[in-house]
Amino acid sequence: MRGLPGRGALRCPGEEEVSKVAEDRNHEILKEIQAKMNRKLKESEIAVLEHWKGHLDRILSMKPEGVAALQLQVRKVSEMMNNRIGILKRD
């Protein structure tokens, strides 16, 4: 808003109320987006944990013939996790 020199800015009646309403609406939209992002992040984290828990549950249900066989299975899961981490870091 431009005003005359020395007289301050000229404002339309109700301009401050409109600005406040727009600011409140922007704040509400931001909160909605943030809540949606948090839900998506939580869903993604649950899916990842379920995936790896499935691998570990399979190892637990196995009847390994010894410690070496169990170590081999744990090593495979560890390598799978390491590969996945490498892929995610590249993106």
Query: How confident is the model at residue 13, as a pLDDT?
Result: 60
Candidates 82, 81, 83; CA nearest to 52 is: 81
Overall pTM > 0.85: no
Give residue limits of the domains in the chain: 15-90
Residue with tokens 């992002």: 37
Query: How confident is the model at residue 46, as a pLDDT?
Result: 93
- What does the H/E/C string look like for 12-43? CCCHHHHHHHHHHHHHHHHHHHHHHHHHHHHH
How does pLDDT run along the chain (91 residues), one tens digit per residue?
A: 455 555 555 566 667 777 888 888 999 999 999 999 999 999 999 999 999 999 999 988 988 788 998 899 999 999 999 998 998 898 7
